Amino acid sequence: MTALAEHDSATAARILGAARELVLKRGVKGLTVAEIAEKAHVGKGTAYLYWGTKQDLLFGLFARDFLTFLEGEIHRLGADPDACRPQRLCPQVARSALNHPVVRAMQSGDDDLLGALAQHPRSVELLDLLGPAALMYMVLPVWRAHRLVRTDWPLDDQAYALHALMTGFLGAVNRPQTPSSITVDDPDKVMAAAVTALLGPEEAGPDEVRAAAEDGLRLLRERRDAVLALIATDPRTKHRQEPERSGSS
């Protein structure tokens, strides 16, 4: 499996951590490599040892967010095949997305983050792998094949409806509460019930659930490896020597 720069270099890991902190705090508009380097306590030139441009650095950060998201889902599904059931997977993915700002941005349409992502030449490939449409068209055929959802309406319509449902729940959870807000004690339980109402009751037996989980794991691993390959496209991410620390610039 492809090794990432931060696995071999504490400096690369620190730069990524600083970039993530700044992006979460203030967004990407106007953010410079110099600011990221200063936050990471390295020289600007050190950051360029790993990423050729600011766009490369941000793309690497965004792609790693998807990678961490995928690793979490692979771990959960590998430990518990029943986690592939729609009423369990959808709330879990929505909850996990809240902890991964780029994944959340993809679902909620955050123009700040998405605008920066769109500037990178490999962004289309990333979105083809893990954008909202890609995720819908990855999971729904598996569910349909193993009788975990209804199959009496077109896949396109089903994908559109499920994406709209998940986007709505993400927006409700993210939105600040006001006196006029509708609140519930257990949003995940409500979302699970809504998913069942939308997609229909399951007809799958235990063997079909396990088969669906195996298919899901295979697809998730394929996408994880593809994201790793995208990150490794920049030759600087293959840098293996810890660079000497230089002063800020």
**Tens of pLDDT along 183-222?**
888 989 999 999 999 999 999 999 999 999 999 999 999 9
The pTM of the full predicted model, rounded to 2 decimals, is 0.81
Domain chopping of the chain, boundaries = 1-52+234-249, 68-233
Least confident of 40-49, 51-60, 167-176, 223-232: 167-176
Confidence band, pLDDT 50/70/90 cuts, at residue 102: confident
CA atoms within 13 A on the CB side of 48: 11
| Residues contacting residue 97 through CB under 8 Å, at least 6 positions apart | 69, 103, 104, 107, 170
Is the CATH code 1.10.10.60 the one for domain 1-52+234-249? yes
| Cβ–Cβ < 8 Å for 5, 229 | no
pLDDT at 244 > cutoff 50: no
